[in-house]
Structure 1
Amino acid sequence: MIAFIVGTTAELIKIAPVYHELGSRGRSAEIWYTGQHVNELPGVLADLHLPEPAVWLVPEEGATNLARTAQVPGWVLRLARTVLSRRGELRARLRADGGAPVVLVHGDTFTTLFGAVIGRVLGARVGHVEAGLRSGHLLHPFPEEINRKLTARLAHVHFAPGEVEAKNLAGRRGVVVTGGNTVIDAVRAALAEDVVGTSLQLPERYGLATLHRFELVRDRDAYAAALAVLREHASRVPIVYFAGESEKARLIEYGLTEVFDGEHLLLRDKLRYVEFLPVLSGAEFVVTDSGGVQEECAHLGIPCAVHRLKTERHQGLGANVVLTEMDRARLAAFLEHVEDYRTGDTSDSARPSAVVADTVESMI
């Protein structure tokens, strides 16, 4: 049996192509959910054609979104209690089809790390999808860089998107280069969906922004400075800023909601993935601190500024992607010259999810 231990919408998005690839080959797989994201789960599962989680690794009743670091210790405790109390049942589930037990984790969240621990505790072979990413700085991004390094010590098989990531795993056994991130397959699938149009009203021309990372939004001055640059340059091309509940709470807490004028810099609710991808593909440029959005922009050729001190991803850098290093002047320069970074769609024949599935089949 193959168990995907995931807990966030981003993880679901990126494991969905692997799940469906394995299913098309007749392989048994389940989703075990840790509940880092709860509110968005029903819509994401429906959009991605995924089943309900077979196992909740925290009690489903009373589960809430993990939005603040102060919630992490309690979440870890609930996770540990569930796994320890149900260890025999979980071991049996992994062995129910008579094959070798395999646990797959993805990325660099708390679920990635603890999912790898759980796989080890249950005696499964652990595969880490999107392995080998490194920023070179333990605190940027935090806690993702730490999660990646610790997960690398626990995984048996490391699915590295490319040669750069594989080199970061030098000395470790079981490194498999997939030829790209599974987000490539996720983007293809999302853009192929026949999605009923969202009621979102967009300007005829627009830029897109998403800023949500802990190291930015916890710093009022840095967050305010970034928004001020967006507001200044939105007079030329309107910028739509998509915010989740935690970002909106920060905006209110910091008194920054007035930066959005409803005409040039627009605040909108975070969209479902299958709704977001068409909006992203129609944007003239993107400002983000999301590694996933960086990769999507690199794939689509959209000019993109990554407003972070460090990035663990190399996709698009030196072509359509600019790393601002949290420098206001660099962000402003990008917005003044976005056309210099347009490269066009870089679609190719890479099928990373198929490579992951090929390897997993050899493990069971």
Structure 2
Amino acid sequence: MTDLERRHCIFVIGTRAQLIKVAPVVVECERIGLPVTLVMTGQHQETMQDLIEEFGIRSPQVPAVPAAERATVRSLLRWLPAAYAGVTRCIRALRTDKPDVLVHGDTLSTLIGAVAGWRHGARVVHVESGLSSGRLLDPFPEEILRRLVFRFTDMAMCPSATAMEYMRKRHRAVVIGTGGNTIADAVAISGAAAIEPDAARPYFVVSLHRFQNIYDTRRLRDLAELIERVAELAPVHFILHPATRKRLAAERLDERLKAAPGVTLSPRLGYSAFLRLAAGAACVLTDGGSNQEELAVLGVPTIVMRERTERPDGLGGNALMEAEVPAGIVAFLGAGGHARLRRAPVPGGGDSPSERIVAALRQ
């Protein structure tokens, strides 16, 4: 048995965004014959299997707990201990002598996988490592989670020089530069780069799910009003995450938005379908870190609906932070200010981030 065959990559995956970002890495592992198992924590259920099929992933999937949409704080707290026990059980059951436990990003599933891998004696590999907002409680709870994960990380896969420097100065991990984010590989697979907006029929896309936006009632109501006003300029496609849908219903804002002229409320779309919709938009309003990165790759005008972001992608190019929008979002969009944000897609060339990650895993 070769060393490559003895090493086994265990991807701990809980959320849709995590699956999207590790999918190109999994595909590259499969291409070179590196054994892979996906341990699914069950944090998200909606469209997860669709994504597996969309990316053509063939590796076995092992459920740590039954999948469901954990869209409330209470449901996540109930799920957490069971998910940790399930991930630990799955890692032990694989009985591999050279395990790599790969975790991604800054979710509860990331922390569960990192701790379980560390306790099992595996090499813990953190994909998209070293990102930090510099504020412990913003974004909450993501910043706290990623700082905890850094402490358990043996190999930090960092998408930028800034992230590499952060990890080298503060943590013991072996630091690997991936030359970018794996989202670029996922976007390339989607084919969305070929989509161009129709200037004669412009529309906007909105995607909101961050804790600070949907669990602050006043903020959520302000955002609903903003969507109504933006829809007076051009049609708005509001893509609803499960947690967002529940919060809108709890505050009785869903019926109000359904009745608003020009607003279309859509369930969460498949990955390629969402990217193609976003690629054709005049502008996208989002609080998603992954969306920010995807739209930077595509060069789509973007307003990041957060006070601050740990991701540099698109800033100074196609993206503006909400607070930086001159004269307010409605006036900015109404005056066509977003058109000045569009820029060429990020160029490719050389080894992809996923290829660099897999090459490092073989060491």
The question of a shared fold, defined as TM-score above 0.5 by the shorter chain, is answered with yes
In structure 2, stretches of 5+ residues that fail to align are: 1-7, 195-199
Instruction: Kindly report which structure 2 residues correspond to 1:173-184, keeping only aligned pairs within 5 A, or say none.
Output: 173-184=173-184
The aligned counterpart of 1:347 is 347
Find the counterpart in structure 2 of residue 32 from structure 1: 39
Structure 1 position 325, deviation (Å): 4.2
- Shift of residue 204, structure 1, vs aligned partner: 3.6
One of 62, 67, 87 as aligned partner of 1:55: 62
Secondary structure of 1:138's counterpart equals coil
Q: Deviation per CA, 1:57-83: give whole Å up to 9, x if none.
A: 22x3xx422111112232122124335
Other-structure match for 2:160: 162
Aligned residue for 2:278? 280
Q: 2:262 aligns with which of 257, 264, 267?
A: 264
Q: Note the C-alpha offset of 1:192.
A: 7.1
Contact 1:322 1:334 (8 Å CA) reproduced: no
Equivalents in 2 of 1:302, 1:84: separation in Å? 41
Structure 1 residues 334 and 318, CA, compared in 2 at 3 Å: closer, same or farther?
Answer: farther
How many residue pairs get matched?
Answer: 345
Q: Assess if the C-alpha contact under 8 Å between 1:6 and 1:32 holds in 2.
A: yes
Secondary structure at 1:2 match in 2: strand
How many percent of aligned residue pairs carry the same amino acid?
34
Is 1:76 the counterpart of 2:80 in the alignment? yes
SS in 2 for 1:50: coil
Deviations 1:244-294 (A, max 9, x none): 222122112112121344642221111011211111111111000001111
1:129 and 2:133 equivalent? no
- Provide the secondary structure at the position in 1 that maps to 2:191: helix
1:185 partner SS:
helix
Matched residue SS, 1:72: helix
SS, match of residue 39 in structure 1: coil
Distance of 2:315 and 2:31 partners within structure 1: 35
* Counterpart check, 1:237 vs 2:234: yes
Aligned residue runs from structure 1 range 1-364, under 5 A: 1-51=8-58, 53-58=60-65, 60=66, 63-83=67-87, 88-90=92-94, 92=95, 94-95=96-97, 100-171=98-169, 172=171, 173-191=173-191, 204-257=201-254, 258-261=256-259, 263-325=261-323, 330-336=328-334, 337-349=337-349, 351-362=352-363
User: Does structure 2 conserve the Cα–Cα contact (< 8 Å) formed by 1:238 and 1:264?
Assistant: yes
Q: Structure 2 vs 1, CA of residues 330 and 150 (structure 1 numbering), >3 Å: closer, same or farther? A: farther
Q: In structure 2, the residue corresponding to 1:181 is in which secondary structure?
A: coil
Q: Does the C-alpha gap of structure 1 residues 76 and 83 become closer, same or farther in structure 2, counting only changes over 3 Å?
A: same
Inter-CA distance 86–190: structure 2 relative to 1 (3 Å threshold): closer
Letter in 2 for 1:144: E
Instruction: Name the Cα RMSD after superposition.
Output: 2.3
Instruction: Output the TM-score relative to the length of structure 1.
Output: 0.88
Q: Is the 8 A contact 2:140 2:211 kept in 1?
A: yes
